[in-house]
Structure 1
Amino acid sequence: MASSRPFRFGVQHATAPDGPGWVERARQAEDLGYSTLFMPDHFGDQLSPTVALQAAADATTTLRVGALVYDNDYRHPVVLAKDCATIDLLSGGRLELGLGAGWMTSDYEQSGIPLEPAKVRVERMEEAVAVLKGAFGDGPFDHAGTHYTVTGYDGHPKPAQRPHPPLLIGGGKRRVLSFAAREAQIVGINPTIPNGKVDADAAVTGTAAATDEKVGWIREAAGDRYGDLELNALHFATIITDDRAGTIEMMAPLFGIPPEDVEDYPHALIGTVDQICEDLESRRERWDLSYVVVQADAVEAFAPVVARLAGS
């Protein structure tokens, strides 16, 4: 069962004031026991993920790095395969390759990249996974699809991790989660984002009851490979506090759900270190969630939880 997996923890950073500041953040994550430094992939106030992830890997020795997640619409998969294989090779096999179909409306509006219907974007991402795996493989391959045509391409360099770096695909709807269950090594369980931005309408799709259903879809689609999957959740709020009830009461309107639903909300961690450790253990039991990612603003406050649970 996936629930037997030990805990590991990631932190999502987006930017830094300069090179030394970025190196400091990467080394801090490693020193505090985090497994992975993740980055988003947007056109706003953040560093370029591919370049910054390589810099983070260069500055550390054990820290894994990855995008959470690359937007498939921004790069042809042959280009992404070369970039990711290069990071994996130069880091000694420390890349986790996160890929998504794209969702942030403002990115598309600002860049002029067409925001096509979700069905088209997801179909294109599914094809991209086939191209990525082909490029990472041994020898030339062909791909003839609706969105990509690749002929006789032999990707170089090859990644250090074989047959390829762990693939992380996350989603909130059945099609993407089922695809991830069949094709990825790490499945991210997310809210859906109906308005193209993180808001209350997105938050209400990430409740405990919704997550029960999502894990069911993953189990069904994965079949015999379910036990090999690692289930992941990104947390939008991580608050270490002695006033759990009061903080939940205050946060509930932001999530658009009752306080009692915030208490077991899979994408928020609120309470003392002891309470959060208990929550994570119960969520792993219920949903097999063992790979926990927090935002950069929580990296230090959350470190006691990492120290207590990582590897257990």
Structure 2
Amino acid sequence: MADFRFSFNILTVDSQEKFVETCRQGERYGYDTVFAADHLGHEAPFPVLVAAAAATERMNVGTLVLNVPFWNPALLAREAITTDVLTGGRLELGLGAGHMKWEFEEAGIPWEPFGERADRLEATIRELGRLFKADGYPQQAAARESMGLGVPRPVQRRGFDGTGPPLIVGGTGDRVLRIAAEHADIVAIAGAYQIKGQPPGTFRIGTAEEAAERVRYARKVAGERASRIEWHVLAQLVLETADRRAAAEAVLDRYGPMMTTDELLDTPFVLVGTVEEMAGQIIRNRGRFGFSYYTVHGPYMETFAPVIERVRAEVAGGNAGIEG
């Protein structure tokens, strides 16, 4: 089985000092990666990643995920290469098709049908691979040679067919999961499902049955690649409590009856219970779904930290069947 990795995402940067301490605390807690999102109302992702790497010693940094329609591939390649170099080869590059219609409208970017955005995602992946291995631009060749300058390239050669940093792609639909299964090093099974008949960006949390079906689909598409893929999941909620059922019922009272209480307690996209119970769920989920790479939202970073320690202690002790 794949080793566990754990990560948290940065949702806001209040100050340089607080951001640095948050990243350093995350590293002390044992997190492997810190992620930045790509949404209006959030900080620009690549400066956040460079600053996070400068503040820490070992944590990877990544995007979860970039809205590809926001980016020109040539300019995105420049950002990714620069970030991979400045972070010492710690970048994980997550790409997505975009799903918040209002962001496109606010940015003055045309909102395309999903199929066109998915096509753009795949085309961008292919173009990034080409740009990562290219010998620069011929218009600059003579000037670079005269000054003894090299061609900017990523430090890493693990993703994009061996030309760049590890690639993360994820989603819920067949089209994006097919792209992920065929190209990505890390496949993220998304836990947020668009509610039919509601405006784009109106979501519900997926069930365990939906997660299992989506993993089966992606594995089938990936074929022999499936065993080399790292399977990722984003936990939408982390709630430490001595009474799982009462806490789950309170969640459903607050957010609406998206599923039954038993379904909420079973879904891999929500973690509710004691530290031991949450650790047990994570370990069982690796066997059940293949998930070995967990991300939590930044506000849950401290709450989730003891779970990381517990999971690693149980795995090191050979107790892969921990009860919870």
Q: Is the pair's TM-score, using the shorter chain for normalization, greater than 0.5?
A: yes
What amino acid sits opposite 2:274 in the alignment?
Answer: T
Say whether residues 1:236 and 2:240 are aligned partners.
Answer: no
Question: Is contact 1:252-1:259 (8 Å) kept?
Answer: yes
2:201 maps to 197
Secondary structure class of the residue paired with 1:300: helix
Among 292, 295, 315, which residue is 1:293 paired with? Answer: 295
CA distance in 2, matches of 1:278, 1:252: 22
CA distance in 2, matches of 1:30, 1:104: 31
2:93 maps to 97
Distance change >3 Å, CA 276–CA 215, structure 1 → 2: same
Distance change >3 Å, CA 247–CA 183, structure 1 → 2: same
What amino acid sits opposite 1:249 in the alignment?
Answer: E
Question: Is contact 2:8-2:34 (8 Å) kept?
Answer: yes
- Gapped regions of structure 2 (runs ≥ 5): 142-149, 158-162, 316-324
What amino acid sits opposite 1:259 in the alignment?
Answer: T
Tell me the alpha carbon deviations over residues 84-139 of structure 1, each in whole angstroms, 9 at most, x when there is no partner: 11111111110000000110122112212111100000101110000111111153
Say whether residues 1:207 and 2:180 are aligned partners.
Answer: no
Q: What displacement does 1:273 show? A: 0.5
Secondary structure class of the residue paired with 2:193: coil
Tell me the alpha carbon deviations over residues 248-300 of structure 1, each in whole angstroms, 9 at most, x when there is no partner: 11112426111010011121000000000110111111100000000111111
Alignment of 1:271-286 (within 5 A): 271-286=273-288
1:65 maps to 61
Secondary structure class of the residue paired with 1:168: strand
1:25 maps to 22
Alignment of 1:21-170 (within 5 A): 21-44=18-41, 46-139=42-135, 156-162=151-157, 163-170=163-170
Question: Is contact 2:132-2:153 (8 Å) kept?
Answer: yes
Moved more, 188-197 or 54-63: 188-197
Which structure is richer in relative contact order (CA contacts within 8 A, separation 6 or more)? 1
CA distance in 1, matches of 2:134, 2:102: 39
Question: Is contact 1:173-1:192 (8 Å) kept?
Answer: no
2:180 maps to 180
Larger radius of gyration: 2
Q: What displacement does 1:26 show? A: 1.1
Question: Is contact 1:6-1:310 (8 Å) kept?
Answer: no
CA distance in 1, matches of 2:201, 2:134: 39
Tell me the alpha carbon deviations over residues 196-228 of structure 1, each in whole angstroms, 9 at most, x when there is no partner: 2253xx32xx11111111011111111011100
CA distance in 2, matches of 1:22, 1:156: 32
Say whether residues 1:258 and 2:260 are aligned partners.
Answer: yes
CA distance in 1, matches of 2:90, 2:229: 18
2:321 maps to none
Q: TM-score normalised to the size of structure 1? A: 0.90
CA distance in 1, matches of 2:287, 2:228: 16
Question: Is contact 1:82-1:156 (8 Å) kept?
Answer: no
CA distance in 2, matches of 1:193, 1:28: 34
What amino acid sits opposite 2:129 in the alignment?
Answer: K
CA distance in 1, matches of 2:311, 2:85: 30
Distance change >3 Å, CA 64–CA 174, structure 1 → 2: same
CA distance in 1, matches of 2:167, 2:221: 16
Secondary structure class of the residue paired with 1:127: helix
What amino acid sits opposite 1:38 in the alignment?
Answer: F
Question: Is contact 2:101-2:200 (8 Å) kept?
Answer: yes
Secondary structure class of the residue paired with 1:80: helix
Question: Is contact 2:135-2:151 (8 Å) kept?
Answer: no
- Gapped regions of structure 1 (runs ≥ 5): 142-151
Q: What displacement does 1:25 show? A: 1.3
Q: Percent identity?
A: 37
CA distance in 2, matches of 1:21, 1:172: 34
1:148 maps to none
CA distance in 1, matches of 2:312, 2:35: 17
